[in-house]
Amino acid sequence: MTAGILPPIENETFSSWVYRCSVASPEISLRLRSPSVKSWSGRFIDEWIYEDPDFDVDSEFLRFAAEDLSLSSDLIEEMVRRENRTVLTWPARRIYCRECLRGDVSRGHLPAWRKEWCYVDSVFCTVHGLQFSCLKHEHDIEKGWVAFSDSALQKGCFSRDFETWVTDPVRAEKHKLLQQIHSWRERRYSEIEIDFDILLNCFELVFSLFLQAPTTEHSGGLGWHISHWGSGRPNLGRYRHSYGRSLSTGVMEAGINERVCALILAGRAFGIISPADIEVLSSSARSFYYPFSYSKEALGHCCSNYNNSDEYLYLMSQFERFPIASMGLLAEFISGVQRKQHNTIAHSAWLRGR
Ligand SMILES: [Zn+2]
């Protein structure tokens, strides 16, 4: 291994570590020749696909850095190790804990990006008991430093609803519920005789339904209906998305407030959070966000958001990937999903009859 390399901070991403090493050592910086993450154009205008410099050992970034710095395979293996959860794409890795970054700087390190911030359903720092923050724009491997300086310059609240969202009692209740979901996820296997990893995958599917991208074809998941504090509904309608693609796009492009809402709603759908648990949050947030008080069945009805029978069948095929045992937890929610299908078929029949 090359001299002058810094030890990685616990749980640090590979790209963050390479950035910190290149800033700390002129020799390493010279060897790496301004490393950056590779991208190429996608199928749509202005669409860019990025390699994964943090978890993909075949990415150019990782291969070149490993070769230039003579890194051992053990070290690489340790750095790319991750949990069995979906990771955000590179440009979507904008979510961070400002207190973790401040802690790095106070200990004399450059701010380090953490692996825990790279998962689609990461919204809450359990070390600091704090909802994550979100960079407005994508950045290259220096994003830890950008996030640190952004959070140091953070501006105050800009609307009454937003102020309610980030102050007590809503703030404290949100954190309590997010901690509850985190504790549930920390259990490796449940008592209900199904593989907990499968249950977590099913949870991710429901979470992605609440974050379905608002497009020209779909109005978007319930999570998107918050956080545009008085500025109207969001619209990612740059392309004509299929139903499946609207789910995978929304979960990548959502900001932190949409994610928090979607996670809490998914916790309700699975019964991790009871109506009593959520009562304070739902009554405090009711003036600007009703869905916290919805029943499981109403959540299923409102979040499925399909336009025709093909999209309905696609959605049900996604649920059918999971064993009946996990579906039992979701029975009320699924019945809400199916209730919308009855309305959709009735509406289609009515249209055909005109
Ligand atoms: Zn933290």
- What distance in Å separates the CA atoms of residue 18 and residue 66, rounded to the nearest whole number? 10
Question: What's the pLDDT tens digit per position in 244-294?
Answer: 988 998 999 898 999 999 999 999 999 999 999 999 999 988 888 889 999
Residue 140 CA to ligand 1 center (angstroms) comes to: 21
Distance 164 CA to ligand 1 centre (A): 22
CA of 30 to the centre of ligand 1 (A): 32
Tens-level pLDDT at each residue, the chain (354 residues): 566 789 999 999 999 999 999 999 888 888 888 888 999 988 777 778 999 999 999 999 999 999 999 999 999 999 999 998 899 999 999 999 999 999 999 999 999 999 999 999 999 998 998 999 999 888 899 999 999 988 877 665 567 888 888 889 999 999 999 999 998 888 755 555 567 788 888 999 999 999 998 888 788 899 988 766 555 555 565 567 788 988 998 999 898 999 999 999 999 999 999 999 999 999 988 888 889 999 999 999 988 888 889 999 999 999 988 876 566 778 899 999 988 666 655 545 444 443
Does residue 306 contact residue 342 with C-beta atoms inside 8 Å?
no
The dihedral over CA atoms of 89, 92, 97, 101, expressed in degrees to the nearest 10, equals 80
Please give the distance, rounded to the nearest whole angstrom, from the Cα atom of residue 93 to the centre of ligand 1: 16
DSSP 213: P
Q: How far is the CA of 48 from the centre of ligand 1 (A)?
A: 30
Rounded CA-CA distance 349/20 in Å is 61
pLDDT at 191: 54
